């Protein structure tokens, strides 16, 4: 623990020290990836507390994850500031709302909804709808977006159009479900995470004695990951501040990757406009990555359109250059990545220090198969939090029970004995769910062995598990990490493999506006900056072996690999010179078609259609299954009108498929083989 006030500043670089010494707000810290932002803000808080500028109990440090809040508290304890409150927005607001509810509203405080899906499902049934679970997940995301941007059900349709939202069902249907969900929630005295923030701000606004007490308690604010703040969180933060400006915000505009949820980087980039007296400090010394990785990260972001980018300066010694590789097909790419990982393992790189990162979770399957064939252990990250997994919950219950009647056996052997009874075997199973369960139990056993080496007993071990569960601090799992780029944010590894980097996947096919494309570029930047030393970027030219090699590497790789990945883009002037498309006539009555849906079908909607109904149902079932696997809305694959057009024309070749309006090269490459197989009467 730090002994003297000035010792808090030892070991900080000049910019980090400037942050730590700026003990009065407003302060804006623009912190690039790997620049030690957590170190800077914890030392700032500790310096302010230990020098008497503020009482520890008057500080509220706000972040976005329970684990990040736990890490802040742990570091602050080590720096001699143990009384500081570090919480997520929701945890801080719920604590305040629960405390004041009996006094200002009366009765029992509402229960918290952990997931919107059950209530949305009931709302769907009330409206006599039958939405699939994947649709409900996407509708829940739309409801969350609307609530954090303060849009009610009555305004959703107009707002969705204005913000180019692409809901899984018609906007009017989302609005009705949203209204029914809110009605059910109120009837049952429930609050979701968005309502917690909204009610806390409302209680403070309507009851000045509550606002006064909270503001008397918290006088000093620090907000981490400020680029991810949404309008509702900003409303609550402003309510907490109550016109004061003793606030320090920290963020990186280059890592804004959650705009689709309602997060807005403008609060970070315009902080100095909102607070003209603010000190703005940039952290750009990158201590995480080698110069080769940093140079590539700078180049990726420099080719974007953002005026707020930070250019990193590497502080580590040289390392290997990033590797760019194209493969004939996806299985070849997965096998090649597995071979490269085996070489790293043979050189002594720990498996837990290697990650494979992709754009969507459905891409993981081929890598799971390739790693299993190579007998390389792996773990999936992001699908479910470690301490929420059924096998982990079961294990903790058993371990807690054993701790109450501990017989004094050695910790490691006792834990191994308990876990063996629920599936921990000496060697891992092949793959899939059984492998995931085994990896979870093995992580618990490894933690027991580590603590046993330090002399801990079962009681201490269970206490540590409960602490970690509260802070969502999972024990390290020995194995290659498989994760989406979104799930990888905030993490780092010695070696990172960025895979599937094709146009249509990164940027994702449904990113259409310039803002959406730029966010996809920042996703690649986040992926690059996860690597400390080894970095590999790869793509496959075809989906399956023997398939047409028509895919292009991501446009974001233009100029990075020595090759151009996409055809030249036409300037606005050149676009104006394009020939006008010939009129499309109805194939039944020969009338000129004007509506886009009619042009796609090739007939008037009132003209009779001749198609195989079984084929249309097969196409819809295939689309539903594919969308569920890829965790995307079904309409992103093909709209209902496109499926109808396919069923009517029953294309037999790729050229015939491409002739259908709305089906371009990217979708033909991705889905063409499956669609043609269905049209020919085969299972896709």
- Whether residue 37 is annotated as binding a ligand: the answer is yes
Residue 36 marked as a ligand binder: yes
CB-CB contact of 468 with 385 (8 Å) = no
Give the residue among 235, 200, 241 at the shortest CA–CA distance from 218.
Answer: 241
DSSP H helices in 127-230: 133-148, 156-162, 171-187, 193-206, 208-217
CB-CB contact of 59 with 84 (8 Å)? yes
Determine the angle formed by the axes of helices 330-346 and 364-373, rounding to 10 degrees: 50
38 annotated as ligand-binding: yes
Euclidean distance between CA atoms 87 and 91, whole angstroms? 6
Which residue carries 């709305």 as its tokens?
662
Distance from C-alpha of 656 to C-alpha of 263, rounded to nearest angstrom: 42
Give the C-alpha separation, 102 to 108, whole Å.
7
How far apart are alpha carbons 130 and 124 in whole angstroms? 6
How far, in Å, CA of 179 to CA of 175, rounded? 6
8 Å CB contact between 211 and 239: yes
Please say whether the beta carbons of 54 and 297 come within 8 A. no
Residue 20 C-beta-side C-alpha neighbours within 13 Å:
25
Residue identified by tokens 């742990």 is: 74
Return the number of other C-beta atoms located less than 10 Å from residue 342's C-beta. Answer: 14
What's the full length of the chain, in residues? 684
Cis ω for the linkage preceding 259 (within 30 of 0): no
- 564 annotated to a ligand binding site: no
Which residue's structure tokens are 């703040």? Answer: 229
103-123: buried (b, 16+ CB within 10 Å) or exposed (e) per residue? eeeeeebbeebeebeebbbeb
Q: Where are the beta strands (DSSP E) in 376-457?
A: 378-381
Q: Which ranges of 532-639 would DSSP assign to H, the alpha helix? A: 572-576, 596-601, 613-630, 634-637
In angstroms, how far is the first alpha carbon of the chain from the final one? 62
Nearest CA-CA partner of 444 in 392, 381, 385: 392
Would you say 33 is a known binding-site residue? Answer: yes
Tell whether residue 31 is among the known ligand binding residues: yes
Residues flagged as binding site for ATP: 31-38
Residues flagged as binding site: 31-38
């Amino acid at each position: 623990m730090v002994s003297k006030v000035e010792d808090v500043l030892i070991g900080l670089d000049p910019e980090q020290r400037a942050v730590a010494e700026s003990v009065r707000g407003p302060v804006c810290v623009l912190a690039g990836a790997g620049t030690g932002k957590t170190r800077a803000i914890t030392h700032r808080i500790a310096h302010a507390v230990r020098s008497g500028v503020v009482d520890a109990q008057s500080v509220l440090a706000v972040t976005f994850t329970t684990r990040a809040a736990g890490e802040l508290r742990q570091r602050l304890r080590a720096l001699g500031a143990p009384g500081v409150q570090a919480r997520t927005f929701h945890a801080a607001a719920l604590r305040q709302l629960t405390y004041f509810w009996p006094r200002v509203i009366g009765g029992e405080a509402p229960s918290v909804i952990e997931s919107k899906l059950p209530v949305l499902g009931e709302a769907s049934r009330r409206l006599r709808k039958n939405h699939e679970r994947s649709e409900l997940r996407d509708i829940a995301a739309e409801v969350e977006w609307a609530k954090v941007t303060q849009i009610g059900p009555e305004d959703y349709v107009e707002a969705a159009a204005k913000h180019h939202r692409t809901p899984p069902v018609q906007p009017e249907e989302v609005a009705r479900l949203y209204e029914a969900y809110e009605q059910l929630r109120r009837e049952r005295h429930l609050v979701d995470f968005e309502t917690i923030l909204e009610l806390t701000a409302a209680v403070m606004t309507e009851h000045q004695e509550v606002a006064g007490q909270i503001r008397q308690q918290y006088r000093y604010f620090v907000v981490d990951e400020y680029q991810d703040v949404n309008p509702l969180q900003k409303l609550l933060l402003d309510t907490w501040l109550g016109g004061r400006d003793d606030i320090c915000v920290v963020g990186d505009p280059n890592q804004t990757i959650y705009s689709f949820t309602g997060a807005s980087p403008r609060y970070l980039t315009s902080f100095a406009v909102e607070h003209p007296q603010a000190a703005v400090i940039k952290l750009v010394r990158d201590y995480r990555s080698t110069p080769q990785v940093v140079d590539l990260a700078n180049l990726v972001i420099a080719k974007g359109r953002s005026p707020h980018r930070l250019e990193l300066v590497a502080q580590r010694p040289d390392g290997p250059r990033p590797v760019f590789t194209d493969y004939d097909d996806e299985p070849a790419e997965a096998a090649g990545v597995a071979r490269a990982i085996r070489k790293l393992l043979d050189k002594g790189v720990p498996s837990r220090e290697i990650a494979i990162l992709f754009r969507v979770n459905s891409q993981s399957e081929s890598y799971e198969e390739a790693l299993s064939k190579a007998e390389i252990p792996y773990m999936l990250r992001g699908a479910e939090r470690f301490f929420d997994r059924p096998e982990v919950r079961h294990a903790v219950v058993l371990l807690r029970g054993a701790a109450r009647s501990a017989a004094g056996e050695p910790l490691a052997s006792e834990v191994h004995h308990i876990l063996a009874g629920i599936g921990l075997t000496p060697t891992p199973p092949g793959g899939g769910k059984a492998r995931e369960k085994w990896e979870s139990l093995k992580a618990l056993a490894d933690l027991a062995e580590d603590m046993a080496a330090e002399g801990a007993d079962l009681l201490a071990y269970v206490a540590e598990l409960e602490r970690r569960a509260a802070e969502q601090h999972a024990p390290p799992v020995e194995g290659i990490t498989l994760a989406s780029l979104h799930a990888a944010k905030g993490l780092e590894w010695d070696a990172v493999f960025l895979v599937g980097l094709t146009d249509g996947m990164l940027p994702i096919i449904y990113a259409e506006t310039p803002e959406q494309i730029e966010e996809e570029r920042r996703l690649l930047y986040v992926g690059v900056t996860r690597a400390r030393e080894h970095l590999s970027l790869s793509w496959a030219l075809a989906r399956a072996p023997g398939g047409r090699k028509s895919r292009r590497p991501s446009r974001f790789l233009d100029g990075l690999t020595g090759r151009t990945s996409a055809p030249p883009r036409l300037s606005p002037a050149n676009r104006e010179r394009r020939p006008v498309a010939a009129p499309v006539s109805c194939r039944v009555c020969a009338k000129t078609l004007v509506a886009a849906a009619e042009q796609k079908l090739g007939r008037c909607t009132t003209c009779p259609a001749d198609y195989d109904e079984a084929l249309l149902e097969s196409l819809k079932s295939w689309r539903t299954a594919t969308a569920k696997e890829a965790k995307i809305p079904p309409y992103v694959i093909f709209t209902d009108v496109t499926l109808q057009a396919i069923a009517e024309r029953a294309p037999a070749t790729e050229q015939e498929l491409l002739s259908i309006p709305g089906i371009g090269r990217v979708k033909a490459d991705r889905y063409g083989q499956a669609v043609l197989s269905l049209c020919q009467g085969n299972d896709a």
